[in-house]
Amino acid sequence: MKKQSGFSLIELLIVVAIILIIAAIAIPNLLRSRIAANEAAAVGALRTVNTAEITYQSTYPDIGFTCVFLRLGPGNGSVSSTSAGLIDATLASQDKSGYHFSTVGVGSCPVSNGIQVGYQFGARPQTPGQTGQRYFCSDQSGLLQYDDSTSIQNCATSGKTL
């Protein structure tokens, strides 16, 4: 009789079970790492927006700040107050790295004597719990804040400083 070489069904089942156990341990860590990376990208994007707003305000002092992402983004090639080219097209579209960027709400773009004197932007996870946990916001002071609740408005009113 010839002895056949190879693995038995039991041995293969044991290997598959070990692989599944390792995957069950690794996948939650991978998801937490992705959330942390998305949150770090959102903070970096808000810092970029703060810098872009300061540059916009100093370039166009008769307008002041802007609360319109498209005005900060690239336009058709020529730089103007409606397409300043200060942020990339992805961020100008208001969705980047699992976060949606927008103005915080009513009163977030104050105007004085026809000049916009402030701004307030926020970032919320596109899918809370999967693309991010925390909500972020920033205004003309350059201060970045976050909140663990369910809205950007809470971040602006009672957020914790980063």
Q: What is the pLDDT confidence band of residue 45, given thresholds at 50, 70 and 90?
A: very high
| Per-residue model confidence as pLDDT tens digits over 76-124 | 778 888 899 999 999 999 999 999 999 887 677 888 998 999 999 999 9
Whether the predicted pLDDT of 156 surpasses 90:
no
pLDDT at 1 over 80: no
For position 2, what pLDDT does the model report?
Answer: 66
Indicate the domain borders of the chain. Answer: 10-161
Residues in the chain: 162
Amino acid at 16: V
The predicted pLDDT at position 125 comes to: 94
Q: What is the 3-state secondary structure (H, E, C) of the chain?
A: CCCCCCCCHHHHHHHHHHHHHHHHHHHHHHHHHHHHHHHHHHHHHHHHHHHHHHHHHHHCCCCECCCCHHHHCCCCCCCECCECCCCCHHHHCCEECCEEEEECCCCCCCEECCEECCCEEEEEECCECCCECCEEEEECCCCEEEECCCCHHHHHHHCEEC
**pTM as predicted:** 0.81
